[in-house]
Amino acid sequence: MAKNTESNVYTVLFATGMVVIVGALLAFLASSLKEKITENKRIEKQQNILYAMGVNENEPGSVTFVSKNIVGGEFSKYITKQLVITGTDAVEDENAYLIDLKKEEAAAKNTNYQRRLPLFIGNKDNIQYYIIPVRGKGLWDAIWGYVAIDNQLVVQGVYFDHAAETPGLGSNIKERFFMDDFKGEHFLDGDLFKGISVSKGNADPKNMDKTDFEVDAIAGSTITGDGLAAMLKKDLKLYLPYLKTLKQ
């Protein structure tokens, strides 16, 4: 075949053709699958929120959400109220869980903007849970999660997730052995806000001390752990004015 693949004209034509074909293919796929992907993300959010307040199908060592088919029903059963907090006001909004934390945080850089803070109130076995979404930076990319606390402001459960932490190291923040350590931890010392830090040094590996404001770190994931502690500090603090009204 006497095709001159060396010529400039051919090269430019080939490049143009390839870009058009690949671009069209990807755009078509992305837009036709968009609805399904958004729906999956919505379901995942509900599963994560429920997971944090202890509604899950965990077996020892596993992290298992309530299944996709029943999550909608379980969500409306256990989550009794969804609030949007702006300043000191709290209004009910049944779609508060769809608020994009990333956009809110970016918008809040403008000092005139009143940041909307979503808060979910759950009830399981007659215990009230207040579930706070958090979002921050890990080593490579975003990390986020949900922290469930009771009306004494003690952590009762967490769920963490990440976009791209190192597999086997930082990615372990979404494993049971790490998340379970947060149960029972305090982040307030009397009225003083302390946060929960992720500490190296093997000071309390069994995590017996619940009022030391720290959990045991994961080996080999210092920056992810520090990022996670910073995230908790930054976002839990935002809710403090509202949370303090609960304790009285």
Partner 1 sequence: MGLLSKKDLKLITDPLADNNPITIQVLGICSALAITAELKASIVMSVAVLFVMGLGNLTISLMRNIIPPKIRIIVQLIVVATLVIIVDLVLKAFAYELSKTLSVFVGLIITNCIIMGRFEAFALANGPIRSFIDGVGNALGYALILIIVGFFRELLGSGTLLGFKVLGDPIEKTGVYAFGYENNGFMLLAPMALITVGIIIWIQRSRNEALIEDN
List residues binding partner 1 (CB under 8 A): 1, 3, 5-6, 10-11, 14-15, 18, 22, 25-26, 29-30, 33, 36-37, 40, 43-44, 61, 161, 163-169, 171, 205-206, 219-220
In the bound complex, what is the minimum distance in angstroms from residue 215's beta carbon to partner 1? 14
CB of 37 to partner 1, least distance (A): 5
Looking at beta carbons only, is 216 or 235 nearer to partner 1? 216
**Shortest CB 220 distance to partner 1, Å:** 4
Between 15 and 70, name the residue whose CB sits nearer to partner 1: 15
- The whole-angstrom separation of Cα 68 and Cα 232 is 28
Contact assessment for residue 221 and residue 170, using Cβ atoms and an 8 Å cutoff:
yes
Q: Closer CB to partner 1, residue 167 or residue 190?
A: 167
- Cα dist from 48 to 131, 215, 229, whole Å: 10, 21, 19
Closest CA to 55 of 37, 72, 38, 39: 72
- For residues 64 and 58, the answer to whether their CB atoms sit within 8 Å is yes
Least distance (Å) from partner 1 to the CB of residue 166? 7
Q: Residue 196 burial (CB < 10 Å; 0-12/13-18/19+)?
A: buried
Nearer of residues 29 and 91 to partner 1, judged by Cβ: 29
